[in-house]
Structure 1
Amino acid sequence: MHDVFTENGPVKLFIRDDGDTPLSFVRHLLRVVFGKSEREAITVAAQIEDQYGIICGPFPAQVARALLEAAQQLIRDDEQPLLITAEAVDAVRPCDLCDAQRSVTNIFLNDRKVCLCSGCVLAVRRSSEELPGDEFKFAVTALDWHFAGVPRNQLLTRSRLFPGHMRADVQIAIDRLLADPIHFFGIHEEHRYETLDVATLMRYGRGAPAIAPPQYHDVDIGEAQPVKCLVNGLWLCRSGELRYAVLLAFHRDYNRESGMRIELVVPAGMAGNAFVQRIFAELEMAVDAARSYRGKILSLDGDADYSGRSRGVTVHRLPTVDRDAVILPEKTLRLLERNVLDFVGSRELLRRLGQSTRKGILLYGPPGTGKTHTIRYLATNLPGHTTLIITAEQVGLLGAYMSLARLLQPTMVVIEDVDLIARDRDEMDSPCEESLLNRLLNEMDGLKEDCDILFVLTTNRPEELEGALAGRPGRIDQAIEVPLPDEAGRSKLVRLYGKGLPLAQPIVDEAVRRTAGVSAAFIKELMRRLAQASIVRDGGQDVTADDIDGAVNEMLFDGGRLNAKLLGGAQGMSAG
């Protein structure tokens, strides 16, 4: 050691990683002995594990000796096992600022590491405000650097939780509010079943969460491009003199939909508290303004076991259904339009007159008569409305659906086959069924009178509906029968579903005559079978009355009663 100092050449000091000395003491040593700022000490000390030590210097020999002695005295006083050694430097390096061939010191300046001589260090030394992000390996190091000088017990965190199905809106809001952070990182989550929070990020040791590349999921919102949504993210930000951090992560709760959790970290005090309130208010307004699903036709993805779990939102891209494509008796179609389209158009005037703007419609009729098609007509012709389509097995997600309905008003909430969950209570098999019915009724009752939410329920078996749903005003305001098609309707359906076939008028008339009492679904399948028969006979050049006879007999009689029922055929139809 003495030989190193007697040569009068530059000397570097090497702080060795022993695995036992606390990192906090290494930081203290770097500040007290080597004059590092608190932020520099944090980042330099973090390198000890990666590089098995820290190189300080080089220094002139006499300066290095004094620093080494001071460091060893501090180590002895604190009874630490840390070891520091001195090594000669073979050659001096030019100063990156003045280009003089002198002993230099490594510091961070203007986003990069530079070598400066002692004179230039005195002139420009400052804490590394813009430290390159790749200097951080662990989240705790980044947070300690960011909040240097603020004890941990003087930091406070506040959080907001948003439903998982609002993930795209939350991402859009975050992108707007945090467009210019000091640093941004992804976080490696070792245990995906736990919720990542700031307390976890500030943990040292083997379980310390590491910095990782940001991970994104593409979330479809029905536009040309999906929204790139983060799995998690940590932003280090500054507003004036106030430093703050934002953590975005999944909130995981067993048997519930995963939410998006946003946690804000600020120094404690009035300024920090006021800042948190302002940021969260701006965030909530930005989420509300995003509304990336507004005006679209949606369903929640979820399991069929009523567990409440949901993977996200499905956007249904349905083509617009024109009025002429709705095959209903004109009287029925006008009734439907008065109670839905015209009602929606007069909502504002109704509200001014003190009338309720919520409404419940029940569409009922035999299977295959076009109830779903009718809903598509309404969904694609309601201006500015969001449509939520709920199947009977998804009623366990009703709470999430209603949250979305309230957020995206005006909304049409469609519950298909409502008789499966709204049967008469005396016929229910279990308390679970009754609880689902109660949830539906409570949601319908709990809406404010001035809310812009329209319920459309469908059923094939209106006689089995629970009296509390069907018989109480205010839940169902209008029941509309979707009947089997009449003669005029069947003629339209034959031409609609057979538009690619060479159908002469006598063939259309025969098909209409032979399909009295059948559903629209039956006629659709009949047209497909006529096409098959025509293709086999002459490549699709002609359709004959024999083709109709063969298809009708096969659909109604050859397969027995069950086949006729499954295809929507009328009972008691004749073969000729």
Structure 2
Amino acid sequence: MNLPTEEARGLARALTELLDASRQAVTAAGSPLIARIAEHVGCPLDEIPTVAEHLPSWDHANLQRGVDAYLARHSPDAAWFGIAGSRHFTSVVDMLAMADTSGQYRLGAVDYTTVATGPSSAAEAVQLGLVCTLGPDGTPVVLAIQGADEDRGEDRCHLQVLAADRSTAAAVREEILALTREHDVFRGQVLAFGTSEHRGNRLLTFLPRPELRTDQVVLADGVLSSIERHVVRSVEQTVALREHGQHLKRGLLLYGPPGTGKTHTVRYLLSRLPSCTVFLLSGVAMIRWLRATAALARRLEPSVVVVEDVDLIAHDRSMTMSGNPALFELLDEMDGIGSEADVTFVLTTNRVDTMEEALAQRPGRVDLAVEIPKPDAACRERLLRLYAGPALRLADASPLVEATDGVTASFVKEWVRRAVLSAVEGRTALDEQALRSALDELLSQQQALTRSMLGGR
């Protein structure tokens, strides 16, 4: 419908006046949203103090668990209610103030969102909602949860407590925060920081915990046991060390050429530490989330912080004019954890020669450095038989083992994969001939770049 300009303007004015009249009528009659809060707390909205807590967006699941535990303790039958209307304000208090003065916001349904609670699990959490409950002393209070607003670049979730007395609201907040930490969904998980597509917001991702047996890690004799002795400790040993005044924090550096098994060894350690919370840092996450990771590691001890390819940020200071801020932050966080904290730093590097001397040698930062070299003949045969499995038909592997001198574990794995594929396609046995053919292919001139990427000779 096309209206003349004056008629369109007149209609717009009429609609605006109607909306204003409607809001004034709501205000005059009293807002059911405000009435519910004021009647429960026992005083007018403008006399109710508010105590707030702002948490990172990744703590939304934990905040919900803390509030749920609080409600179960003090008012198990409490029902949530929501706020209806456009939401241009990030604060629930702002919305309530507008509801009280203009009727823009009304009593409505609760908004929910889905939050991750594990690698393959999720739960509903309140995105915007309020609930009437009681304080520890039985005083009426109202709780409000508001999740992060990714569309506006907001990366925090919010808890607000409304009560007639500020000290009551503060006591409620502290009890909820304590319950949030008690029911922390991150504890015992494997976590990695990343970045979402929503304006660079931070994400904390759950990863499955690796499951590896000792025989699936092929290292020279004594190497794996030395690493385990340094990192893997039982609860009894931790208690004993504390009783004898010994430090718990430790640092492990695994170094060696690419493809030798450093990451694989780390994965094995994680499988041996099922009760530890693990944080994996690599790439840009090393620089952006070191401080947040260290804070979470302290909060969730016993914990392990894995920094892969640390040489990317930990070059020798003498190689740069102004130093390396990321390196300094890493050193500060490792020092700042405190010796009494049950936190392990596991660092990996392909270029130990360029590592900062203070990081590689100073006690208290790294107290065990272990080389993961290219596998010797005995390890190469073990790798061959491990990757080939029961399908292998090979009594004497020495000729093939000798022909692979100087390659990495990654090279052996790809070599066996190609041999298996060839045997399957040709409906033949996985024997010396199939392995020799695959090895010749990898060692050919045409495969020079592939060989280099796999850590071949």
TM range (shorter): 0.7 to 0.9
Q: Quick check: 1:340 aligned with 2:231?
A: yes
* Aligned amino acid, residue 145 of structure 2: L
TM-score if structure 2 supplies the norm length? Answer: 0.85
CA distance in 2, matches of 1:223, 1:498: 30
CA distance in 1, matches of 2:82, 2:152: 26
TM-score if structure 1 supplies the norm length? Answer: 0.68
What's the CA shift for 1:511?
3.0
Root-mean-square deviation (CA), in Å?
Answer: 3.2
Structure 1 residues 487 and 263 mapped into 2: Cα distance closer, same or farther (>3 Å)?
same
* Aligned amino acid, residue 474 of structure 1: G
Q: Which residue of 2 aligns with 1:443?
A: 333
Specify which of 91, 96, 104 is matched with residue 196 of structure 1.
91
Specify which of 498, 513, 527 is matched with residue 416 of structure 2.
527
Q: Which residue of 2 aligns with 1:123?
A: none
Specify which of 236, 240, 249 is matched with residue 349 of structure 1.
240
What's the CA shift for 1:200?
2.3
CA distance in 1, matches of 2:315, 2:338: 26
Structure 1 residues 237 and 547 mapped into 2: Cα distance closer, same or farther (>3 Å)?
same
Q: Which residue of 2 aligns with 1:370?
A: 261
CA distance in 2, matches of 1:304, 1:437: 27
Q: Which residue of 2 aligns with 1:407?
A: 299
Aligned length: 434
Instruction: Report if the CA contact (8 A) 1:201-1:208 is conserved.
Output: no
CA distance in 2, matches of 1:391, 1:189: 43
What's the CA shift for 1:498?
0.7
* Aligned amino acid, residue 290 of structure 2: L
What's the CA shift for 1:285?
1.6
CA distance in 1, matches of 2:152, 2:243: 43
Unaligned runs of 5+ in 1: 1-15, 28-41, 47-135, 571-576
What's the CA shift for 1:320?
2.1
Structure 1 residues 518 and 536 mapped into 2: Cα distance closer, same or farther (>3 Å)?
same
* Aligned amino acid, residue 413 of structure 2: K
What's the CA shift for 1:460?
0.6
* Aligned amino acid, residue 414 of structure 2: E
Specify which of 143, 153, 158 is matched with residue 37 of structure 2.
143
Instruction: Report if the CA contact (8 A) 1:445-1:475 is conserved.
Output: yes
CA distance in 1, matches of 2:226, 2:290: 28
* Aligned amino acid, residue 532 of structure 1: L
* Aligned amino acid, residue 114 of structure 2: D
Specify which of 16, 19, 22 is matched with residue 21 of structure 2.
19
What's the CA shift for 1:23?
4.1
What's the CA shift for 1:247?
1.1
What's the CA shift for 1:329?
0.9
What's the CA shift for 1:275?
1.8
CA distance in 1, matches of 2:66, 2:43: 29
Q: Which residue of 2 aligns with 1:460?
A: 350
CA distance in 1, matches of 2:237, 2:357: 30
Q: Quick check: 1:483 aligned with 2:380?
A: no
CA distance in 2, matches of 1:177, 1:245: 12
What's the CA shift for 1:18?
8.6
Q: Percent identity?
A: 31
Q: Which residue of 2 aligns with 1:291?
A: 184
Equivalences for residues 474-513 of structure 1 within 5 A: 474-499=364-389, 501-506=391-396, 508-513=397-402
* Aligned amino acid, residue 192 of structure 2: S
Q: Which residue of 2 aligns with 1:167?
A: 60
Specify which of 355, 367, 389 is matched with residue 280 of structure 2.
389
What's the CA shift for 1:208?
2.5
Instruction: Report if the CA contact (8 A) 1:181-1:237 is conserved.
Output: no
How big is each residue's C-alpha offset from its partner over 1:317-349, in whole Å with a ceiling of 9 and x where there is no partner?
A: 234211111111122112212211258763322
* Aligned amino acid, residue 520 of structure 1: A
Q: Which residue of 2 aligns with 1:247?
A: 144
* Aligned amino acid, residue 164 of structure 1: S
* Aligned amino acid, residue 296 of structure 2: L
Q: Which has the higher contact order (CA 8 A, sep 6+)?
A: 2
